[in-house]
Structure 1
Amino acid sequence: MASTTTTTTTTTTTTGEPGVLAHARYGKDKVRVFRVVREPGTPSVHRVVEYNVTALLEGAIDTSYTQADNSVVVATDSIKNITYYLAKTSPHILDPTRFALHLGTHLVARYAHISKAFVTVEQLRWARIPADSSATGEHTHAFWRDGDEKKVVRVEVDAGAGAGAGAGAGRDKLVARVEAGLRDLLVLKTTGSAFEGFVRDEYTTLGEVDDRIFSTSVDLTYRFAPVAIKAPTDAKKLEFGAANVAGADETGTVWDNERVGALARTITLDVFAHDESASVQATLYKMAQRLLAEDKHVASVSYALPNKHYIPVDMRYIGVDNLTPAAAEVFVPVDAPSGLISATISRA
């Protein structure tokens, strides 16, 4: 398994050295997890999840860099093993946000010198195969890969003032910062999109169109306001549930992120399909505003929407009109170069 170390806010120096350790973070990257869950009472019915997990740590680890002191290092192999152990034992394994919160909270609560844990969970799509060609039911244990779209959750668990203060000191005052979303959601519509009235000068070759194909690969991230976390109180710091997360009983919160994610995806698809788009920018803005309107717990919404161009083939050489929007039917897909439109819309 690969390990990750990045440097970007501590300041540690050794006398006579020209540089200072400004920031340190390390951990385990690309921990691949596939979990089978057998339904209680009906063990022949299986549920599955597949995750790619990254778990990184910050804290009182400076001396591992500056003095070759490994006594402060939780080995990246141990971080991997903890990830697999919780994948086996956590009651939240089927929910990537809750699992990420459980993992991050355990890492910070277990190791007194660790102040922050950063957990990213990327979920791949698996869907049930129908039971048979005529049945409406689904197979109990057979699945198919349902496209390239991925669900992504990023969690930061911060021990704050409790960091490095000794086991248990201040560790009841954890804070979680959660962002989630999706990427590689490929969408396309064949009409209902225009692009007109843009700047024209000596560099402009693009023609204005009042009807065109609109396609993009959606990259969506929405962020929640920080949420208070109660550290586990058991000896091994493993017990974790709704009682540990502030506001867990409310809908639309961090603890309810599976529903929020489904809502964000539905809004994205609905606005994309039905908006008479004046530009990618304008459609993006409507998507984000609607999610903010429908979930009060979402603090900001970011989209990155690269253009997937479909260029009408010029058939004038043979006397055929394939360029007029109403007559354009044969296109060449072009993925590079492409426009890239992005924005973040924050709650007022």
Structure 2
Amino acid sequence: MSESVLTSARYGKDLVRVFRVVRDGEFHQVVEYNVTVLVEGDIETSYTVADNSVVVATDSIKNITYYLAKTSPHILSPERFALHVGTHILSKYAHLHRAIVTLEKLRWSRIALSANGDPHPHSFVRDGNDRQTVEVEVDASAGKDKLTAKVTSGITDLLVLKSGGSAFYGYVQDEYTTLPEVDDRILSTSVDLTYTFAPLSLSSPTDAKKLDFTVPEGFAHGSVWDAVDVAARARDATLDIFALDASASVQATLFKMGQRVIAENAGVDSVTYKLPNKHYIPINMQYIGVDNITPANAEVFVPVSAPSGLISATISRK
């Protein structure tokens, strides 16, 4: 087997499901995460010579995630919690040099009571299927006292639709073109958004239990430490532009979304959108003398899941 060599390796625990209740008397806050933790480091011999002495069991990684879900003061922020998990693991195990923590945050919102609109202190509703996403890479390659981190957050599966205010015409016309030009159409997509923060420098915990994870000072508005507000602003920007833009194309609307996210969040370096077209095709009823084809009269559509257009772009800060 001398022809082969191990060139990269990582392992960890996938789909660690965590639900946490933070109680302040009768007033509760809740978060639900799906967490994946992967590690890299001096682990080659576990692959090449079956040396398990370098393996931190994936069960231990799962238990660390649960332990920090209980003890971390940063549990309500997915970015901060992911950073705490990654920093804790690298600080505890000298032979591990990189931790990649990804998570999804499911939507739970406080129930507003119908009698007066007041939010209930400890009752919640799943008010959407979109999820907040976070990917954190904590790197100790330069030493345990010189940790760096990359943080990318976003939104996935945010399904949106507008029944007007979208056109598509002026594109290339040749022998392969069958799509008719339209000045008004249904526009629908499932938003997949990621935004990358400026790189971070972190300090390793110095306490025995590796819980003393501190937030660096002096970060700009829109930084990872302002991440709860960034997530809300990015979601609002996406929905506002989608609704209000007189869309000439998905591409043009996408660019305006990214511009606004960059403008409103000084700590965000780049924004990437992936927007698949969710097609709604008007039913041709001309065989019975009914016009359901022209945009002004099209009212009955068939949803078509595949094939679909897929439009993607990254907008970066200058």
TM normalised by structure 2 equals 0.97
- Alpha-carbon separation, structure 2, partners of 1:247 and 1:158: 21
Q: Counterpart of 2:277 in structure 1: which amino acid?
A: N
Whichever residue aligns with residue 122 of structure 1, its letter is E
**What is the distance in 2 between the residues matched to 1:186 and 1:238?**
38
For 1:154, give the aligned amino acid: E
Q: How does 1:285-296 map to 2 (within 5 A)?
A: 285-296=255-266
* Counterpart position of 1:110: 92
User: Do the aligned partners of 1:229 and 1:246 also contact (CA within 8 Å) in 2?
Assistant: no
Q: Which residue of 33, 37, 52 maps to 2:34? A: 52
Counterparts of 1:307 and 1:37 in 2: how far apart (Å)? 39
User: Which whole-Å CA distance do the structure 1 matches of 2:268 and 2:28 have between them?
Assistant: 33
Q: Distance in 1 between matches of 2:95 and 2:133?
A: 28
Pick which of 196-205 and 55-64 moved more: 196-205
User: RMSD across aligned C-alpha pairs, in angstroms?
Assistant: 1.2
- Confirm or deny that 1:25 pairs with 2:10: yes
The question of whether the paired residues in 1 share the 8 Å contact of 2:13 and 2:59 is answered with: yes
| Residue type of the alignment partner of 1:182 | I
For the pair 1:174 / 2:147, whether they are aligned, the reply is: yes
For the residues of structure 1 that align with 2:173 and 2:259, how far apart are their CA atoms? 30
**Aligned AA for 1:176?**
A
Amino acid at match of 2:28: H
C-alpha distance in 1, partners of 2:317/2:163? Answer: 32
CA–CA separation in structure 1 for the residues paired with 2:173 and 2:133: 39
C-alpha contact (below 8 Å) 1:227/1:246 kept by paired residues? no
Q: Per-residue displacement from partner, 1:189-246 (whole Å, max 9, x unpaired)? A: 111111101111111111010110100000000001211111111122211132xx35
User: Could you tell me whether the CA contact under 8 Å between 2:221 and 2:266 is conserved in 1?
Assistant: no
Tell me what 2:233 maps to: 263
Which of 115, 132, 140 is equivalent to 1:134?
115
Counterparts of 1:189-204 in structure 2, within 5 Å, are 189-204=162-177
Name the structure 1 match of 2:179. Answer: 206
* Matches for 1:149-160 after TM superposition, within 5 Å: 149-160=130-141
Return 5+ residue gaps in structure 1 as ranges: 1-15, 163-170
- For residue 101 of structure 1, what is the aligned residue in structure 2? 83
In the alignment, which residue of structure 2 is the partner of 1:5? none
> Secondary structure of 1:234's match?
coil
Distance 2:214 2:160 in 1: 36
1:234 equivalenced with 2:207 (yes/no): yes
Distance 1:241 1:273 in 2: 40
- Residue 79 (1) aligns with residue 61 (2): yes
**Is 1:307 aligned to 2:292, yes or no?**
no
Structure number with the bigger relative contact order (C-alpha 8 A, sep ≥ 6) is 2
Give ranges in structure 2 of 5+ residues lacking alignment.
none
Q: Tell me how far 1:152 sits from its aligned partner.
A: 0.3
Q: Percentage identity across aligned positions?
A: 67
**CA distance in structure 1 between the aligned counterparts of 2:94 and 2:243, rounded to whole angstroms:** 50
Which amino acid letter does the alignment assign opposite residue 107 of structure 2? R
Please report how far the alpha carbon of residue 17 of structure 1 lies from its aligned counterpart in structure 2 after TM superposition.
Answer: 2.1
- Once the two structures are overlaid, the 10-residue window that deviates more, 147-156 or 232-241, is 232-241
| Aligned residue in 2 for 1:247 | 218
Match of 1:188 in 2: 161
1:47 CA displacement? 1.4
1:60 Cα deviation after fit: 0.8
Offset of residue 148 of structure 1: 0.7
Residue type of the alignment partner of 2:115: S
2:299 is aligned with 1:324 = no
Contact 1:312 1:322 in 2 (8 A): yes
One of 227, 233, 253 as aligned partner of 1:283: 253
* 1:119 and 1:155 in contact (8 A); partners too: yes
Q: Identify the residue that residue 3 of structure 1 maps to in structure 2.
A: none
Check whether the contact 1:25–1:57 (CA below 8 A) recurs between aligned residues: yes
TM-score by length of structure 1 reads 0.89
Contact 1:121-1:152 within 8 A present in 2 as well:
yes
The answer on 1:37 being equivalent to 2:22 is yes
- Whole-Å separation in 1 of the counterparts to 2:112 and 2:177: 52
Match of 1:168 in 2: none
Give the count of matched residue pairs: 318
1:7 matched residue in structure 2: none
State the shift of 1:264 in Å. Answer: 0.7
- 3-state SS of the aligned residue for 2:127? strand
Partner of 2:309: 339
Q: Given that residues 228 and 246 in structure 1 are in contact (C-alpha distance below 8 angstroms), is that contact kept between their aligned partners in structure 2? A: no
